[in-house]
Amino acid sequence: MTPCVFCDRSQFEDHLIAKVDGFHIIATLGQITDGGYVLVAPEKHMPCLGALAGNTASGLWAASYRVLRVLLQEYPQTSARYSWIMFEHGIVDQTIQHAHLHIIPQYVDVTSRIRVDFPDSEIRELLFPSQFQAQYNERPRPYLFWTDKYGNGMVCWDPPAPAQYLRIVVAEMLKRPERANWRTMDSELDKKLWSETVRRLKPHFA
């Protein structure tokens, strides 16, 4: 069985920005934007964010919004009120089977695209963060999670989505399809961008 990358800190030490309340903040491989693209992953192994419960679930959102505040300071956008997106593939062809929330400091609204791509899947708006975990725990199943143009949480249950679907959609919408697959992105450019992300964000958590 392949060891879990996010369970072995030595696998992402160079990318590590901070550890916040049991969550690792990591500059991801495959920087679709020009830096600032991070992951929030629980230190404890969990299959997906929907499976988090109680204080751990609350800690996820607290850590994520702390990261977001820092991102908006370092990577300010003026084109939209909500200039960021969060998303996760919840056991839908995950390339790394350890819960991790993507946060990108760029305005992208993927809701309409998801509705078109998966017309037979149930899509629901989440009125408050804990509703996400409650729905998953009531009936565990694959999902896509993302934030819409107003910053509200959205979930699509049981979508037949391919690997890296949301990365692909975001990259296409930002007109950078060549950065969609983190495995094939220009490695020198990517290292420059994630290294800069670590350098810029790390002092905020010192």
Q: How far, in Å, CA of 203 to CA of 187, rounded?
A: 25
For residue 47, what are the CA distances in angstroms to 31, 33, 44, 127, 149?
Answer: 23, 26, 10, 23, 27
* Residue 42 backbone dihedrals phi, psi, to 5 degrees: -65, 140
Residue 68 token pair? 């977001």
Render 15-44 in DSSP notation, one character per residue. Answer: GEEEEETTEEEEEPSS-SSSS--EEEEESS
Q: How far, in Å, CA of 170 to CA of 30, rounded?
A: 12
From the CB of residue 158, how many other CB atoms can be counted at a distance below 10 Å?
Answer: 14
pLDDT of residue 62: 92
Residue range of the domain that includes 102? 5-205
Question: What are the pLDDT tens digits along the chain (206 aa)?
Answer: 567 889 999 999 999 999 999 999 999 999 999 999 999 999 999 999 999 988 888 899 999 999 999 998 998 875 555 589 999 998 876 677 899 999 999 989 999 999 999 999 999 999 887 788 889 989 999 999 999 988 899 999 999 999 899 999 999 999 999 999 999 999 999 999 999 999 999 999 98
**Helix extents (H) in 18-145:** 54-74, 111-117, 129-138
pLDDT of residue 100: 93
Q: How far, in Å, CA of 186 to CA of 180, rounded?
A: 11
Which residue is it, tokens 């056991």? 91
CATH number at residue 191: 3.30.428.10
Structural domains in the chain (count): 1
pLDDT of residue 97: 82
pLDDT of residue 79: 53
